[in-house]
Structure 1
Amino acid sequence: MYLIHVPLRAPAFTVLPSDAAGIFASFKENGDGIEHVAAHPDAPGGPTLGFFVVSCDLATAEQAVFRLSRRAVAEHAALQGFTVVSGNTAFVPESWWDGK
């Protein structure tokens, strides 16, 4: 599983909708591997989404996340004016999930 962060650029004086995680999750497609979406409206550097993705490799996971993110900001009225800035994989120390 991969955790991919997607920072967004917001229009001036605009905040990320309170239901942003649900909005983005509604754009999931069968087979894209996206298991969960978290929204961080007050993240350093601006609003950021976290996508947990099950995939055979990182490149495929990133492609699915970027495709979904771009589609959501282009098509959902509540996200009008938001843009996808970039994306990066969050590396989590192994001890986080193996109980050590």
Structure 2
Amino acid sequence: MYLIHVRLKGPDTTASRPDLATIITSCAGKADGLEHVAVHPGPEGDVTLGLFLLADRLATAERSAARLTERAVADHPALRGFRVLTAEAVLVPGPWWDS
């Protein structure tokens, strides 16, 4: 399972919707491998989605997350005006970074 962060830009400064995780989940098909969605509102209409996806490789999970969110933004009326900014795994710093 992979955690992919997808950054969205909303149409205004109140982009985070209480039903955003449900909307994304409703747009997912079995091939997307979606297991769970977490929503993290940010400043100025930004929102970060944490998509937990089953995939055989990281690159596959990133492509699946991008496709799913692009599809949701394009097809779901409640997401009109949203844009996908990024869809990628986040590097987590480890103790080796300072060496």
TM-score normalized with structure 1 length: 0.82
Task: Say which is worse superposed, 17-26 or 31-40, in terms of deviation.
Answer: 31-40
Structure 1: stretches of 5+ with no match in the other structure: 95-100
Q: CA RMSD in A?
A: 2.2
Structure 2: stretches of 5+ with no match in the other structure: 95-99
Identity %: 48
Give the AA of the match of 1:8.
L
Give the AA of the match of 1:69.
T
Instruction: Assess, with a 3 A threshold, how the Cα gap between structure 1 residues 80 and 5 changes in structure 2: closer, same or farther.
Output: same
Q: Distance in 2 between matches of 1:10 and 1:20?
A: 12
TM-score normalized with structure 2 length: 0.82
Higher strand share: 2
- The answer to whether the Cα contact below 8 Å between 1:8 and 1:83 also exists between their aligned partners in 2 is yes
SS at match of 1:47: strand
Higher helix share: 2
